[in-house]
A and B are shown apart, each in its own frame.
Chain A
Amino acid sequence: MNKTNRLITIIVTVILVAIVAAYLWDARSTVAVLSSTLRQSTPLVLGALCGLLCERSGVINIGIEGQMLFGAFIGFLANVYTGNLIMAIVAALLAGALSGLLLAYMSVSLKMDQIIAGTVLNILALGVTGYFYQQGLTTQGKLPTVPLGPLADLPLVGPVLFSNPPITYATLLLVMVVHYVLFYTRWGLRTRAVGEKPRAADTLGINVYKVRYWNVIIGGMLAGLAGGFLTLEAVGTFERNMTNGRGFIALAVLIFGKWTPFGAWGGALLFGFAIAAQTQLQLSGAVDIPHQFIGMLPYVLTILVLAGFIGRSRPPAASGIPYEK
């Protein structure tokens, strides 16, 4: 444990030094890349937190992609028809919760194969959002940037950390909230117990099904929020299949982060940085690589992460196994 801690401290220090050096060298590009890193990582963090809650309680969720798409679409529709961004966020959360309920019903109650259950969710989401989406719907704006008073005027950290739109702030908070809830509350202890040793938890009077249902539903809300981020904060409009694999990348991020909130956050930042850096390189014309190769970078990275890390980190023991009373 001490060894890992020391390693993490060293890595974080090196990264911070590198950031400051880069900032001194080229302030504008550094700020641009770092802000973009944070924005790109936001849906991945939320998706990974969704997967985290599900898997910690023993349900593999391969349907994050579909849940995000539902959230993105319903949030977008609510924005179109009410023009109220708060309502739109609520709608995205509800859509995510509903998709979580469906997933829980399939994997907990029906005891379906959980990989197939998630795939069903993905395919249903693609079909339903594709059918009900009409071109030409226009929204009434997207979530604005909220600078946090004087903090936003600080050099480097101001524009990067303290001058963001609301869902990005919320995501940073949620990482801490999920960490606290999971490791320092009764709810978290029960969730982890159910995900590791459901039989023992059941014997102690914990309702395994109920714990799994709630975690999957709340996880669904986070995935819905990730979708809301795409339509309400990042892009401002909906496109068919706009999640583009982010739900799956989020799973890789989760595994990379060894099923912990902060680990997942770090993993998401790494992915976000990869995307942000290649965009910046492309824009500056510093490199001339065909855009298709740059476009597939996150997907290649996902495979490498899966191949490199899965053996070295241990998933919750009961993840993927339906519980029979």
Chain B
Amino acid sequence: MERPNKLQSIAIPLIAVLMALLIGAVIILISGSNPLAAYGALLEGAFGSAKGIARTLEKSTPLIFSGLAVAFAFKAGLFNIGGQGQLLFGALVAGIIGYAVSLPALLHIPLAVLGGCVAGGLYAGLSGWLKTQFGAHEVITTIMLNFIASNITDYVADGPLKDEGIIARLPQIQDSAVLPAIGPVPTGFLLAIVVVFITAWLLDKTTVGYEIQTVGKNPNAAKYAGMKVARTVVLTMFISGLLAGMGGAIETQGVVGRFQPGFNAGLGFEGITIAMLAKTNPYGVIPAALLVGAMQSGASQMQFDAKVAPEIIDVVLGLMLFLVSADMIIRRLIRARGDDDSQPRLSSGWGN
């Protein structure tokens, strides 16, 4: 029974992607544009030139981190919707360390990244603590913390640490904190791949990973086996936020060059779609993030050539999420059988 399930965990996301693109095409058609031209321009923009490919990799980098953050939390039955806020804090702290501290690059780069990681981790850990201590559901607290994070980071960028000039942003980070690119490949992207492997190793080969997955599958059994469920929940949220925060730090140090509010003005929900497309498998996050990154990267070309609003991407992503989560629909279509244990199971209900 191992093989058909494995096959399904690739086939179902693929079918979901294709169906979402198809429905997206119909929507483009209804709104009076040519879907083939639109998707053609999208592909062209994402992969048609060295610059396009570099941009696709650049866009995919924070997506790998945010997808990984959601997928990791899913393993413990937790739903971290707060990637956006954790990423913002990571970006902010990396931006502060990047400009305010003077160190040789060999120390400066990792210090700033680490600062971003810790900031994101603590911010998500707060939600974990609120859950274990008070039973406040992490879905609501992480969303609320998203709003709070954007307010606080806006304040910092417009208040005490504001750069000279009119724009509310922090000063540029020092050269010693900048993550360089190797040819068309941003260092951040390579780092993201390495982190994917580390995350997979952590989940599958360590005691901590085993505890996290046990808590996700059956918290009662975990408790009975003597595991500290509350501690595992907080730790999982911390690591999940650490991943998102790292994405923010790398965005600051590798792409934007400073902290500037609204740089990542996306919906902040892509990470959820990516984690679901990946079936919460860390390795699966890479192709899923590349897909979403390519769509974002080619969106402006699509708008320019085919006159289709870039927001269509959000519609298609929403449809992908719907189809891959409601995989019963696809299962019925392809007459797939078998139990689905790849779908994340969350701690449903309020409290406890």
Interface segment, one of B141-149, B176-184, B213-221, B289-297: B141-149
In the bound complex, CA of A254 to CA of B264 (Å): 32
Question: With a CB–CB cut-off of 8 A, which chain B residues contact A315?
Answer: 349-351
Residue contact B325 to A128, C-beta cutoff 8 Å: no
Give min CB distance, A7 to chain B, whole Å.
22
Residue contact B135 to A310, C-beta cutoff 8 Å: yes
The chain A residue sitting closest to B272, CB to CB, is A119
| A292 interface residue per 8 A CB criterion | yes
The chain A residue sitting closest to B79, CB to CB, is A115
In the bound complex, CA of A123 to CA of B328 (Å): 19
Of B141, B145, B267, which is within 8 A of A126 by CB? B267
Question: With a CB–CB cut-off of 8 A, which chain A residues contact B143?
Answer: 245, 248
In the bound complex, CA of A315 to CA of B352 (Å): 12
Interface of B is mostly: helix
Of B136, B345, B346, which is within 8 A of A306 by CB? B136
How many residues does chain B have at the interface if contact means C-beta atoms less than 8 Å apart?
Answer: 52
Question: With a CB–CB cut-off of 8 A, which chain B residues contact A119?
Answer: 79, 81, 139, 269, 272, 321
Give min CB distance, B80 to chain A, whole Å.
11
Question: With a CB–CB cut-off of 8 A, which chain B residues contact A131?
Answer: 27, 309, 311-312, 314-315
Residue contact B309 to A110, C-beta cutoff 8 Å: no
The chain A residue sitting closest to B155, CB to CB, is A292
Interface of A is mostly: helix
| B175 interface residue per 8 A CB criterion | no
Contact flag A123-B348 (CB < 8 Å), given A245-B143, A292-B151, A311-B134 = no
In the bound complex, CA of A106 to CA of B326 (Å): 7
Give min CB distance, A255 to chain B, whole Å.
7
Beta-carbon contacts under 8 Å, B80-121 to A: 81
| B212 interface residue per 8 A CB criterion | no
Residue contact A302 to B140, C-beta cutoff 8 Å: yes
Of A127, A255, A296, which is within 8 A of B148 by CB? A296
In the bound complex, CA of A77 to CA of B61 (Å): 37
Beta-carbon contacts under 8 Å, A77-131 to B: 106, 110-117, 119-120, 122-124, 126-128, 130-131
| A170 interface residue per 8 A CB criterion | no
Of A122, A290, A307, which is within 8 A of B136 by CB? A307
12 contacts between A and B (CB under 8 A): A60-B348, A113-B325, A113-B346, A116-B276, A123-B317, A123-B321, A127-B267, A130-B315, A131-B27, A292-B155, A303-B145, A306-B134
* 13 other A-B residue contacts (CB within 8 Å) besides A113-B325, A131-B309, A303-B130: A60-B350, A106-B326, A112-B325, A116-B276, A120-B322, A130-B314, A245-B144, A290-B155, A292-B151, A292-B155, A310-B351, A320-B348, A321-B348
